[in-house]
Amino acid sequence: MTDYVTIIRAVYSGLSQRQVAATYKVSRNTVALLVQQVKASGWLTLDDLESVDNAAISEKLNKTASSTRDVTFTMPDYEYVHQELAKPHVTLKLLWEEYVEACQQNGERFYMETQFRQYYHKFARVHKATIRLEHKPALSMEVDWAGTKLGFFDTEMGKLAEASLFVAVLPCSQLIYAQPFRDEKMPSWIAGHVHAFEYFAGVPKTLVPDNLKTGVRQSGFYEPELNHTYQEMAAHYGTVILPARVRKPKDYLQNHIIFKSGEIS
């Protein structure tokens, strides 16, 4: 059975429907239909998906609509949204929640947070407005191997050796976790993630790896294929992988980290 919950979780976490289709090997039409049915069922957030399984979604997909419903969505007032964003502590998420509440009170259909944000970004481009870049707590963790290897004396082998540095960064707080490994193979990559979760005392909603060989099989700049083992790890911890070209975690490391050879895994 297609893993509907994982697909929807990926969409709700910010991955485009095209990227989801490429990553999970389903058609774009399937993703679009799935998103439409899930929204119509009232499962509107990542938290809503906690109580949903694949069987429930499959049942919704197999049902034939008994009546034609109005699918017109209410467009937010983005002039107001942009003005409110200039105020302290106001975020797009907060404004989306207010928009949803107003639509519900008026019996109107509303856009999901991802679409709400997309339309705002379009508004800002057209009006040449400055968009505030938001890094929300617990939303994402950026991961990568640092570019420069570490030299150390391997007491077991009795010779000089090199170690690769796994780096994880929380963009909101810029908190860094780094751990040296003897190689960049999948077990080391997974162990680095698990130890980072333990260090940060939690699991982020999304993982953002650079498009490197360990976790991502590159099939195109915008449509990377995820390593199956990496996908399984993410599913086990209830998070979603969003491979993207972002500021690399290794960029945060300058003048921050000193290691002893005994710390190398």
Q: What is the pLDDT of residue 80?
A: 85
Q: CB burial class (10 A; 0-12, 13-18, 19+) of residue 142?
A: buried
pLDDT < 70 regions, the chain = 1-2, 61-71, 88-89, 126-138, 211-226, 243-265
- What one-letter code names the amino acid at 86? A
| CA 144 – CA 189 distance, rounded (Å) | 9
Reduced to 3 states (helix: H, G, I; strand: E, B; else coil), residue 218 is coil
Q: What is the pLDDT of residue 203?
A: 92
| CA 86 – CA 80 distance, rounded (Å) | 10
Are 140 and 154 in contact, with CB atoms under 8 Å apart?
no
Q: DSSP secondary-structure letter at 262?
A: G
| CA 39 – CA 35 distance, rounded (Å) | 6
Q: What share of the chain is helix, strand, coil (3-state, %, to 5)?
A: 40, 15, 45
Tokens 């945060």 belong to which residue?
Answer: 252
Residue span(s) of the chain under CATH 3.30.420.10 come to 140-263
**Other CB atoms within 10 Å distance of the CB of residue 249:** 26
- β-strand pairing of 159-170 with 140-145: antiparallel
- Global pTM? 0.50
- CATH architecture of the domain formed by 140-263: 2-Layer Sandwich (3.30)
Q: What is the pLDDT of residue 195?
A: 96
Q: What is the pLDDT of residue 180?
A: 92
Tokens 């937010």 belong to which residue?
Answer: 76
